[in-house]
Amino acid sequence: MVSIKDIAKKAGVSISTVSYALNGSPKVTEETSSKILAVAKELNYVPNAAARTLKKRETKIIGAFLTDFDGAFYGQLLQGMKEVLNKKGYDLIVCSGSQSHRLLPERTIDGAIVLDASFSSEELLQYADRGHKLVVLDRELDHPNVNQVLLDNKAGATLAMEYLIEEGYRKIYVVTGPQGSFDSNQRLQAAKQTIERNQPLESDERDQSIEYIEIQGNFDKTGGEEAAQQIIKEYTEPVAVFCLNDEMAIGLYNVVKDSSYRIGEHIHVIGFDNMELSQFVQPRLATIDYSKRKWGALASEQLLKLITDEPVEHERIYVTLIKAGSVHPMQSM
């Protein structure tokens, strides 16, 4: 391996001069500098990251941690992160699985963006205590070294539920995410509140009260499939279903497709995330949309601010409702 020592020898200067020249320091003559650069090129010199890191205590690498690589979901998010980071001279690496957590405490990366259930909040706080900078996208975490960029889950869930209610549905299922999920909990809570807010006053007997049924899901297709089975079994009249993410809605579609019921006719469905697939299923899935690219970009910006000790405040990503054929107005009664 060719090091600055080799360059120094070949160029007939000292290694410090080489280092200065390579780093564009004005302390070295134009002449010697260009000679050194030439020799470096000739020897195919590439600096050793480990040595530089050891000295400078930074790697210019940011890690994005995801629960799994499978999410057809993450492309734009990562793209948004990368664009911002690259512009600032940082590289993005994507990791998954608890084995890779070590990259943070071992200082292979300068900071992390976390959307990853394989991290416990305690673990993250430990890292933050050790001085590592973090941005979390999937939980609330209060620590000076941690910033959060969260979806506006409550607004989204409220929009979704109000849509179903406005369209006339009075029996509404909600299929949740896994137990500990922050996103699931927030969405669920807002959904419940929306139901309560829309419940008719006792005195007013003209309006039918809203029946609310919760089904435990998991944010995977399987969760939607199981929910579909239950819904079909219990079916008596047109119902609405709020799947707390699109993935489960797709699973639900798969099962309903093989039944005698139809999406958007008997079973009306809305999801959350607006993943790519959702626009291709038939009928198109109603859902809650937000800019994944912007989410990633903002997360990166916040992390860089944290790293450079600029002041930061928590950020929120806004969401919008996408109406579609999976939810048709209820027939007049």
Q: Which residues bind DNA (CB under 7 A)?
A: 1, 3-5, 12-17, 19-20, 22-23, 27-29, 31-33, 45-48, 51-52, 54-56
Compare residues 12 and 200 and give the one whose CB is closer to DNA: 12
Site for a copy of itself in 125-144 (CB under 8 A): 130
Residue number, 4 or 137, with CB nearest to DNA: 4
CA distance 141 to 122: 10
According to the binding rule CB under 8 A, does residue 220 interact with a copy of itself? no
* Integer Cα distance of 75 and 132 in angstroms: 26
Give the orientation angle of helix 4-11 with respect to helix 15-22, to 10 degrees.
110
State which residue, 102 or 323, has the beta carbon closest to a copy of itself. 102
Q: Taking the complex as a whole, how short is the minimal distance between the CB of residue 29 and DNA, in angstroms?
A: 4
Nearer to a copy of itself, 75 or 168 (CB): 75
The item of DNA, a copy of itself, none sharing an interface with residue 250, based on CB under 5 to 8 Å by kind, is a copy of itself
Task: List b or e across 231-241, with b for residues whose CB sees 16 or more CB atoms inside 10 angstroms.
Answer: bbeeeeebbbb
User: Residue 32 binds which entry of a copy of itself, DNA, none, with Cβ cut-offs from 5 to 8 Å by kind?
Assistant: DNA
> Which of a copy of itself, DNA, none binds 332 (CB below 5-8 Å, type-dependent)?
none
CA distance 282 to 278: 9
CA distance 92 to 299: 12
**How far is residue 228's CA from residue 215's CA, in Å, rounded to a whole number?**
10
At its nearest, how many Å lie between DNA and the CB of residue 146?
23
Give the closest residue to 161 by CA, choosing from 196, 132, 109, 121: 196
Burial bucket for residue 106 (CB in 10 Å: 0-12, 13-18, 19+)? exposed
Residue 44 contact among a copy of itself, DNA, none, beta carbon within 5 to 8 Å by kind: a copy of itself
CA–CA distance, 260 with 269 (Å, rounded to integer): 16
Q: Which residues bind a copy of itself (CB under 8 A)?
A: 44, 46-51, 53-54, 59, 61, 63, 68-72, 74-76, 78-79, 82, 86, 91-97, 99-100, 102-103, 105-108, 130, 250, 276-277, 280-282
